[in-house]
Homo-oligomer: A and B are copies of this chain.
Amino acid sequence: MSLLVVGSIAIDSVETPQRVEADVLGGSASYFAMAASFFGPVRVVGVVGEDFPDPYLQVLRSRRTIDTSGIQMAAGKTFRWKGRYAQDMNWRDTLEVHLNVLEHFDPDLPENFRDSRYVFLANGSPVVQRKVLHQIRSPRLVVADTMDLWIKTQHDELLELFQQIDGIVLNDQEATLLTGESQIIPAGRKVLALGVRFVIIKKGEHGAILFSETGMVSLPAYPVSNVLDPTGAGDSFAGGLMGYLAESPVQDHAAFKRGIAYGTVTASITVEDFSLNRYASTSREEIENRYQLYRQMLRVE
């Protein structure tokens, strides 16, 4: 099935307590597309600047299931993000953000992408997210990500977006900010009541919780022995989830659980190295093995 992601392609600089990696490939669309590409084809829409290193484009192109024809190059510099993680890796400070070409990114989808059935609107202004969505003729499953900035500055626009999408992914702090609820379960329920069909609250190393009409599912993260860099875990999670769902014949509750499990696995692979580096040695078989170990771990019998 046709899966589309619209999001950022970035040059990241990441500081962890162990290491500093400067000017590496990042961005929500990159992480999403890489994770999703192990399940089926994925179309990427994004923008880079004239300074974007060709080898980084090759990282995405090297996965033959990633269609990079929707990545434009604009005059100016690529979006840059610089962050520093705390000792336990659960917290990070954004040290620098340079929107650059992303500032005026107003995606005009290629004609052959407009029939996409599965759509992930990565973190971005809800106004732009809606403009993208309106270019899709007949979407079957639309999921959006958001962040504190939009909750604070484009609250009403975000709520309007909620009426037009199926699901929203956000982290626990964002859910609290959006609902005023400090406990995660009531917060998730209140987000659900804002008009989406499902809500996924990402808790980083503590897993994720799905809220939907069918109920609540809390699943842990896949236990990773050595987290090198958590950047992109959330987008890789979404990529594994939607990559799986786009290829699944059904999208019922059981399929969503499988999707969350696959997203958990792809996120666990991402964090084992900086940037998308870990994927250079990842195969569909490795993902499947880890998925089966994860299922087995969760089986109480």
By a beta-carbon cutoff of 8 Å, the part of chain A in contact with chain B is: 17, 87-89, 176, 182-186, 189, 203, 205-207, 209, 216-227, 254, 257-258, 261, 294-295, 297-301
Contacts and interface: CB of A to CB of B under 8 A. Distances in A.
26 contacts: A88-B183, A89-B182, A89-B183, A183-B227, A184-B205, A185-B225, A186-B226, A203-B206, A206-B207, A207-B207, A207-B220, A209-B223, A216-B297, A217-B297, A218-B220, A218-B223, A219-B220, A219-B298, A254-B301, A257-B300, A261-B300, A294-B300, A295-B301, A298-B298, A298-B300, A299-B299
Contacts of A226: 183, 185-186
Nearest to A221: B218
A255 to B, nearest CB: 10
Chain copies in the assembly?
2
Given A186-B226, A216-B297, A258-B301, 10 more contacts: A89-B183, A185-B226, A206-B220, A209-B223, A219-B300, A220-B220, A257-B299, A258-B300, A298-B298, A298-B300
Contacts of A227: 183
A185 B224 contact: yes
The interface centre, meaning the residue of A87, A223, A295 with most chain B CB atoms within 10 A of its CB, is: A223
Given A206-B203, A206-B206, A206-B207, A297 B218 contact: yes
